[in-house]
Every structure is written in structure tokens, then in C-alpha cells.
Amino acid sequence: MKPSIPRTTFPLPFLILLLLLLPAVVRSGDLIEEVCKKTPFYGLCAATLHSNSSAAADIKSLAATVTNFVLSNATDTLSYIQAQLKKEKDPKAEKALANCAELYIPVVKYNLPQAIEAFFRGYYGFTKYALSDAAKQADACEDKISGAGAGGGELSARNKAVSDLCGVGAAIVGLLMKVGGRGLKV
């Protein structure tokens, strides 16, 4: 009688593929954790990067992902400001919202798109500067609405999110500049 060979529930090629890919998945998660620990907002960084499964290839991919998230959030915030501006009846609050729109428009239409283009051309210093400037504009908007008594609420949360994401992005771009395309040894 021949001994029977136990059958596995997974086909062998699938099992081999799983064993080959598992270390890459673990390493990519480790990279996100390692990079996010070096940013000012670890939780925001980790949540943002883990939500994009393709982000973890390398530190440059992480920086690109966060920079694109910044543009997306700033664009959404500008749209929100413009919608609120159409509804606002209080002249003081309306002026504060108009000032915020004036702060966000160049960030969304020019600064961040140019920063993303510069990033992909290897001009990381400009990208870091533009991200830092975008954070300052979000903070300035917050000062405007707080000074008008319109602070707090949805717009304040949006300004904080943009500012904090900019801080994360600038920190990751700074790490990229430091490692110069080599492995993360910071």
C-alpha cells in the first residue's frame, strides 16, 4: 500500500507566491511605521499612508502620496470655503471667508501643483518649501476666521488637517532629501 500524500487546500503556486510576497508586505508596513515616527503627526501619517496600499513601495512613494493628499485636502477646503462664502450673511464672517479663499486659491491652483511637478523632477527642496508655505496659509486662514468670531467648526478642522498634512509631507520630503534616494537609514 502506497502512503498517501496529504493534499493542501492552497494550490502550490499560490502558496509560493504568498511566501514570496509576505516579506514585501511586512517590509512596506515597517517602512510606513518607520517614516511616520519621524513626522510631527504620527497617527495622521500612518492613517494616510496605510489608506493607500500602493504608497509603501519606498520613501519617495510615501512622500508623493502625502503631497497628493495635501493637494486634495486643500482643494476640498477651498471648495468648502467658496460654498460657505455664498451662504454667509454676516459681513465680518464673509470678509474672513473671502480672505481665506484668497489664501487658498494660489496654494491650490499654483503652489501645490508646481510642488508636485518639482517633486517628480527631483527638486525636493522646492516641494518641502511649498508644503511648509501651504501650512502657513492654512494657519493664516484659521487666524482670519478666529479673529472674525467665525472660528471653530468645520473650517477650523479642515485648516488643521491641511496644516498637519503639510507638516507630515514636509517631514517626509525632508527625510527623502536626507537619504538621497538610498535606503532609509535616518
The pTM of the full predicted model, rounded to 2 decimals, is 0.80
Name, in order, each residue with C-beta under 8 angstroms of 27's C-beta and a sequence gap of 6 or more. Answer: none
The residues, ordered by sequence, that sit 6+ positions from 167 with a Cβ below 8 Å of its Cβ are: 39, 40, 41, 135
pLDDT tens, per residue, the chain with 186 residues = 555 444 434 333 333 433 444 344 434 458 999 999 999 999 999 999 998 766 567 899 999 999 999 999 999 999 999 999 999 999 999 999 999 999 999 999 999 999 999 999 999 999 999 999 999 999 999 999 987 766 679 999 999 999 999 999 999 999 999 987 554 444
Instruction: Tell me the HSE value of 36 on the side-chain side, using a 13 A CA sphere.
Output: 22
With both helix axes pointing from N to C terminus, report the angle between 12-36 and 42-50 in degrees, rounded to the nearest 10.
Answer: 150
Which class is domain 27-179? mainly alpha
**In the chain, where the domains are located:** 27-179
